[in-house]
Amino acid sequence: MSKAAKGAGPNSVAGTELPFEEALKKLESIVESMEADDLPLETLLQRFEEGTNLAQMCQTKLGEAELKIQRLEKTASGEIALKPLSLPENASQLQPD
């Protein structure tokens, strides 16, 4: 099936991209249904593809958010420069509550 035949795609609504929170909620729902239901292979493949697209979109949005979090800092010469966000070393191990 061509991309044109698929329409707007699983991570968009009427041609607009889903907000991060909505995409994440939809991704969680897909994962739960794949784990709980006895689904036919074709349905599992469709949900896997949709979930992969949503996960990629969420990763992109998180990367964009990280860039926005960077703060401006004046250098010694008076120029404005971006200072990267400093994360603790164990930030990758943090678990949501």
Tell me, letter by letter, the H, E, C secondary structure of 21-39.
HHHHHHHHHHHHHHHHCCC
Question: How confident is the model at residue 80, as a pLDDT?
Answer: 72
For 54, counting Cβ atoms within 10 Å of its Cβ (0-12 exposed, 13-18 middle, 19+ buried), the class is: buried
Question: How confident is the model at residue 57, as a pLDDT?
Answer: 95
Greater model confidence, 55 or 73: 55
List residues bridging with 71 in a β-sheet.
83
CA–CA–CA angle 6, 30, 92 (5° rounding): 115
Q: Is residue 26 part of a domain?
A: yes
Question: How confident is the model at residue 1, as a pLDDT?
Answer: 41
Q: Is residue 4 part of a domain?
A: no
Q: pTM for this structure?
A: 0.59
Give residue 69's domain range. 10-86
- Residue pLDDT, tens place only, 11-69: 454 446 899 999 999 999 999 999 987 889 999 999 999 999 999 999 999 988 877 77
Q: Is residue 30 part of a domain?
A: yes
- CATH code of 42's domain: 1.10.287
Query: How many separate domains does the chain show?
Result: 1
Q: Is residue 5 part of a domain?
A: no
Question: How confident is the model at residue 7, as a pLDDT?
Answer: 41
Q: Is residue 51 part of a domain?
A: yes
Q: Is residue 33 part of a domain?
A: yes
Q: Can you read off the two tokens belonging to residue 25?
A: 């909620």
Q: Is residue 43 part of a domain?
A: yes
Q: Is residue 3 part of a domain?
A: no
